[in-house]
Amino acid sequence: MVQSSVNSTLISDGYTAFNANDWQTVEALFCQDDPADSDNPDFPAFYPMDRWDRPIKGRNAIVTHLQGLRAAGLEARLVAVADHGHKLITLDITTGGGAPHACADEVEFDEHGLIKVFKHCAAATHHDEQPGS
């Protein structure tokens, strides 16, 4: 069940836009790039599923990454949202491009209600060891 709040509605709209290839809506959900260093902004940041992958930073880079996932045939269905104010946890199921995948994502919003950080499969970030170590 998706909770009803401004942030959960934005996230729900984002999943719908992703599946519809509506990249203008997806891009508008993320905060502006951090102007402190336009070549390497701190925010927004998207953390891929593998915690050892580097975060993808900047609106354009994030949208390009998501477009690649969608072009590979992925679809995401939002199942539930746990709203904790400026942070929320989503439960989603991704299909296409292989076996279905369910995970919990952590999403952090800035003071304007835009996505600042999106950690895909946030539970994976709690492992202590790097593969092969």
pLDDT at 51: 59
31-71 confidence digits (pLDDT tens): 999 876 665 568 899 998 765 678 999 999 999 999 999 99
Q: In order of start, what are the domains of the chain with their CATH numbers?
A: 6-125 (3.10.450.50)
- Smallest CA-to-CA distance from 60 within 84, 10, 26, 12 is with 26
62-104 confidence digits (pLDDT tens): 999 999 999 999 999 999 999 888 899 999 999 997 889 899 9
Q: What is the mean pLDDT of residues 20-41?
A: 85
Residue 132's pLDDT band (cuts 50, 70, 90): very low
Asked if 110 contacts 43 with a C-beta cutoff of 8 angstroms, the reply is: yes
Neighbours of 77 (CB within 10 A): 13
CA–CA dist 132, 122 (Å, integer): 21
Sheet arrangement for strand 115-119: 56-57, 45-47, 115-119, 101-109, 87-95, 75-84
